[in-house]
Amino acid sequence: MTDPTTDKPVLRRTFEAPLEQKEGRIVEGCCVPYGEAQKVSDGGDPYFEVFEPGAFAKQLVAPNRIELRYEHGTDLAASVGVCRALHEEAHGLFGEFEIHDDPLGDRTLNMVKAGVLPGFSVEFVDRYTQWMRNAAGAVVRRSCNLVSVGLVRTPAYDGALVLAVRSRQDLLGDIELPEIDDAQVERLRAVGISV
């Protein structure tokens, strides 16, 4: 499969995701571990690759464009959720996904909690046409476009972790909003911005 906007191949990688169970419809964890070399194949000869910190930095501004799918299925029934937040840490790309509130979403949550879906899988396009290799010969992924994330049965990487399943209310409770600056609000209104 190729990305229609760039005509570059869409690559798929799968990662193990042990689970800490909590209440709710949010599945969160490490989607892509950084610095972990893994043997992969894209249909040809196998090779080693490693993702470096910052590989998905351009995706962080629009996480809601990333769909959560069951085993990367392409039909409507495979759509099980949507990304609500992405952030990078030194050791990986982390995501928070809201599972749809429907019978398929309920089944997906039950499968995650039961350990049937222990891993994340990502589909991505490498922005570079010339691959850089590290001293050990592994392909280094430096700048990638995340296409989708899937929940999968058979992971390949050990470093991706589903850290929790929790409610949207729990997630919002973790966010601390700053105090409203009345003077700033008045300046915005003065220039025609509705607040």
pLDDT in tens, 60-111: 989 999 999 998 888 888 999 999 999 999 889 999 999 999 999 999 999 9
Instruction: Dig out the tokens for 57 from the structure.
Output: 């930095």
pLDDT in tens, 144-194: 999 999 988 876 565 554 555 655 455 445 555 567 778 877 877 787 776
Bridge partners (DSSP) of residue 124 are 11, 146
The DSSP secondary-structure symbol of 182 reads H
Other C-beta atoms within 10 Å of 28: how many?
A: 21
CA distance 97 to 109: 11
pTM score, whole prediction: 0.73
Highest mean pLDDT among 1-10, 131-140, 169-178: 131-140
Report CA 41 to chain centroid distance, whole Å: 21
CA distance 33 to 68: 18
Bridge partners (DSSP) of residue 81 are 68, 99
